[in-house]
Amino acid sequence: MQAFKYTITDSKLILDKIIPHFDKYPLVTSKRLDYLDWKEAIILSNDRLINSKQILSLKDKMNTKRSFDERWNYLNVLTIKLEPEWIQAFIDGEGSFQCRIANHMNRGKPLLSVAHTLEIAQHSHDVKVLDAIKLYFGYGYLKPKYNISSLNESKQVRSVSRFIIYNTEIITNFIDTYPMYTRKHLDYLDWKELIELKSSNVHKTEQGLLHMINIKKTMNAGRLLNNNLLTNSDKLKFIRWSEISK
């Protein structure tokens, strides 16, 4: 799958535009720690008396080199207040619109279940951000369940935590007000159509159910697969990931 990157290397542009932007609109996740070190390194590098050792020291604790403990402790003492525009962008980047269509037994009889969810994933050291999203919407839950105020428990659970919400009315009202800008908005429109089809009991007919299943197949990773946006190597990685995540 082809990817593009937008890169800025002009130090004057970084100092005049990028840093003032992130100072005015601070990052919410623990990535802000990386930004603060990066900002300090940029300022140092533009000093006539460059302290290369200090810059390298800052670089050596950024991004993947920053510890779980430091990231978790940073967020654990903050009161996180979220703006709707930030949540919209976060869903655009980290969210997933899911529709589970499956049969299960209810009192010994097969019952068709159609469940729509919005799921937002984040590394467990930033689970407090997911909790703030849950508080914003007033619905949903975190998975897996553990004491997110405990560093030890946060370190012992799976590396990725999720916020899951079933209340489709809240989400559709929100996304319709704050639409997304990437291909994920197409997934949302399909997801919304599936909600409307279920409300019309379309899933109770064989033809209608097949139609809903076909829509579901073209969402998320299926959109990439069906539009030849994945290379063979990408497809193999996706298949392996699907098997692992079952």
Instruction: Give domain status of residue 77, yes or no.
Output: no
Task: Give me the pLDDT at residue 31, please.
Answer: 97
DSSP 118-142: EEEEEEGGGHHHHHHHHHHHT--EE
* Residue 62 domain flag: yes
Question: Is residue 171 domain-shared with residue 93, that is, in the same domain?
Answer: yes
Specify whether 226 is located in the same domain as 136.
yes
- Do 150 and 214 belong together in one domain? yes
- 121 and 198 share a domain? yes
Q: Which domain holds residue 110?
A: 84-244
pLDDT at 46: 81
Query: Within a 10 A sphere around the Cβ of 223, how many other Cβ atoms?
Result: 17
Same domain, 42 and 153: no
* pLDDT for the residue 243: 43
Of 183, 132, 168, which is closest to residue 29 (Cα–Cα)? 132
- Same structural domain for residues 50 and 93? no
Cβ-Cβ contacts under 8 Å for 120 (sequence gap 6 or more):
90, 91, 94, 95, 96, 130, 133, 162, 163
Q: What was the pLDDT predicted at 223?
A: 80
Residues 58 and 143 in one domain: no
Q: Are residues 108 and 181 in the same domain?
A: yes
236 in a structural domain = yes
pLDDT of 227: 56
The predicted pLDDT at position 241 comes to: 45
Q: What angle do CA 138, 89, 128 make, to 5 degrees?
A: 50
Q: According to the model, what pLDDT value does residue 233 have?
A: 54
Cα three-residue angle 30-64-89, rounded to 5 degrees: 45
Average pLDDT per block of 10 residues along the chain, 246 residues long:
81 94 96 96 81 88 95 95 96 95 80 93 97 97 96 93 97 96 94 95 92 92 64 47 43
CA 118/CA 160 separation, integer angstroms: 16
What local confidence, expressed as pLDDT, does residue 246 receive?
41
Q: Give, in order, the Cα–Cα distances in Å from 16 to each of 10, 22, 37, 80.
A: 10, 11, 17, 27
Are 62 and 97 in the same domain? Answer: no
Identify whether 1 is part of a domain. Answer: no
Residue 167 lies in a domain: yes
Residues 185, 188, 191, CA angle at the centre, nearest 5°?
Answer: 155
Domain total in the chain: 2
Structure pTM? 0.85
Based on the domain organization, do 162 and 238 belong to the same domain? yes
First to last CA, the chain: 23
Residue 87: phi, psi to the nearest 5?
Answer: -65, -40
Query: Do 200 and 133 belong together in one domain?
Result: yes
Q: Is 51 found in the same domain as 107?
A: no
C-alpha 123/C-alpha 143 separation (Å) is 12
CATH number, domain with residue 190? 3.10.28.10
